[in-house]
């Protein structure tokens, strides 16, 4: 039941509770407490309905790379809305913004790709990829080579297929997922799964051996692709151990398994290079991107594929009369125009160079938290990172899940004026707008630390285990 004020009032909070379903939200708690309503934003800051200011430490949802209120992106949307507010790309129709954005993506891609397919979200892009892999292998006369391997703790979206790729139990529980032909191999989290005395390289070799054993168990003739985020986001900002992707890709090549890079979070400068694939030596056959593609100002995502895969699609299209896949808003001219201007601004303002310049301060401030009594591990690269909260630093013992340590810490940080996110396990993530300055990084971490200190005091007072 909602609280009396939220049941009867006419505030925005009360109206929200009466009308909306919120994603990734405890619906029972929401009925009682209502939402935090964000009314405006400027730069790296957002403001709630009462005028309180917050540093948006997660760039919204890992996405608003240019922060809030970037006039150049607003203008791009308005100009395109006036010229052509909508058109589709079915049946050989096209628009200038979608063509120009496809050209730009192919120009800056981490490896030579042939074609771009547009969708509206990372989930749709990863869902599309599954269909393309199946379609492609049918064109090759390999109707049984359909299984796709993801990883435990991976995140790839929330559609039926993309949520199946995801390796987080809450996305499967009572949704009757995963679907068939989706497998999961080991998680490359060295802190949690590395053995005593095992180096990162040895751990990476063991992960590659796990992958090979899974392929052999299933039968290489049935395994079509492997999908991976360069840095695992919602799974805890897990950074791959040294030599991980080198070793994993050697296994994929051995068994004719496609490499899919999910760059939805890592793409467009987040790791200090244009692509996470460039940061970690990934040579993808297929790449998905979204989020910072338009700085999240409008929904758009993209799938890039090699020419070999495209030629297989052409063959199937000839067979069936059409490539029977797509969305009403695929290549929508307004998000495409905003996406194109986003890519142009990245070059004009050397945003990747700026990330490289300020990442040192970001990582130094992050790793200084390693001495905090609640922090077991700090993981960061570029402008993305997380701290993992533990009950015992020496043994790496986690808090009892009932304590909800990370959600309570995220709430304390929000009260201190920085929005972070509690992700899988007791991990707290930061992924600020890429435009953030060193002074703003310092203020963000001052507030973040204040939130950690608040929760540490609560843990001591309540004798958390």
In contact, 292 and 341? CB cutoff 8 Å = no
Q: Do residues 150 and 227 both lie within one domain?
A: yes
171: containing domain: 72-348
Q: Write down the pTM of the prediction.
A: 0.95
Decide which of 348, 368, 401 is a domain's last residue: 348
Q: Is residue 62 part of a domain?
A: yes
- How far, in Å, CA of 403 to CA of 197, rounded? 31
Decide which of 320, 348, 376 is a domain's last residue: 348
Q: Do residues 231 and 328 both lie within one domain?
A: yes
Burial of 196 (0-12, 13-18, 19+ CB in 10 A): exposed
For residue 1, the model assigns a pLDDT of 42
Q: Do residues 76 and 118 both lie within one domain?
A: yes
For residue 5, the model assigns a pLDDT of 62
- How far, in Å, CA of 365 to CA of 15, rounded? 40
Q: Do residues 134 and 244 both lie within one domain?
A: yes
For the chain, which residues score pLDDT lower than 50?
A: 1
Decide which of 292, 317, 348 is a domain's last residue: 348
Q: Do residues 317 and 422 both lie within one domain?
A: no
Q: How far is CA 100 from the centre of its chain?
A: 25
For residue 4, the model assigns a pLDDT of 57
Q: Is residue 47 part of a domain?
A: yes
Q: Do residues 50 and 106 both lie within one domain?
A: no
3-state secondary structure 71-94: HHHHHHHHHHHHHCCCCCCHHHCC
- How far, in Å, CA of 333 to CA of 83, rounded? 10
3-state secondary structure 158-194: CCHHHHHHCCCHHHCCCCCCCCCCEEEECCCCHHHHC
């Amino acid at each position: 039941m909602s609280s009396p004020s939220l049941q009867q009032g006419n505030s925005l909070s009360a109206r929200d509770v009466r009308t909306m379903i919120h994603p990734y939200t405890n619906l029972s708690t929401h009925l009682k407490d209502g939402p935090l309503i964000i009314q405006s934003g400027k730069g790296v800051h957002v403001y709630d309905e009462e005028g309180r200011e917050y540093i948006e430490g997660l760039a919204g949802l890992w996405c608003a790379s240019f922060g809030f209120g970037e006039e150049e992106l607003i203008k791009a949307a308005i100009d395109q809305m006036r010229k052509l507010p909508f058109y589709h790309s079915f049946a050989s129709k096209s628009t200038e913004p979608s063509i120009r954005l496809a050209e730009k993506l192919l120009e800056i891609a981490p490896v030579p790709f042939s074609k771009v397919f547009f969708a509206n979200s990372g989930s749709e892009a990863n869902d599309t990829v599954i269909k393309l892999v199946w379609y492609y292998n049918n064109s090759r006369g390999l109707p049984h080579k359909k299984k796709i391997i993801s990883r435990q703790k991976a995140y790839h979206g929330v559609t039926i297929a993309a949520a199946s790729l995801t390796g987080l139990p809450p996305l499967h529980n009572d949704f009757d997922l995963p679907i068939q032909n989706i497998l999961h191999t080991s998680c490359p989290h060295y802190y949690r799964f590395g053995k005593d005395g095992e180096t990162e390289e040895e751990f990476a070799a063991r992960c590659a051996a796990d992958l090979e054993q899974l392929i052999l168990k299933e039968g290489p003739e049935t395994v079509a692709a492997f999908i991976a985020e360069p840095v695992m986001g919602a799974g805890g900002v897990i950074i791959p151990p040294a030599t991980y992707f080198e070793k994993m890709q050697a296994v994929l090549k051995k068994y004719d398994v496609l490499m899919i890079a999910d760059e939805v979070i890592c793409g467009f400068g987040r790791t200090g290079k244009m692509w996470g694939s460039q940061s970690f030596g990934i040579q993808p056959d297929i790449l998905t991107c979204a989020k910072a593609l338009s700085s999240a100002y409008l929904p758009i995502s993209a799938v890039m594929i090699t020419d070999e895969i495209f030629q297989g699609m052409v063959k199937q299209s000839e067979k069936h009369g059409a490539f029977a896949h797509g969305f009403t808003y695929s290549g929508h001219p307004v998000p495409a125009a905003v996406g194109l201007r986003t890519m142009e601004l990245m070059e004009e303002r050397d945003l990747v160079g700026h990330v490289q310049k300020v990442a040192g301060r970001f990582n130094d401030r992050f790793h200084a938290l390693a001495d905090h009594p609640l922090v077991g591990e700090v993981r960061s690269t570029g402008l993305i990172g997380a701290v993992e909260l533990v009950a015992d630093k020496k043994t790496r013992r986690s808090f009892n899940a009932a304590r909800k340590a990370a959600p309570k810490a995220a709430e304390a940080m929000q009260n201190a004026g920085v929005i972070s996110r509690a992700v899988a396990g007791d991990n707290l993530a930061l992924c600020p707008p890429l435009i953030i300055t060193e002074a703003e990084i310092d203020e963000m971490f001052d507030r973040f630390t204040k939130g950690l200190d608040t929760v540490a005091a609560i843990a001591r007072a309540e004798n958390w285990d």
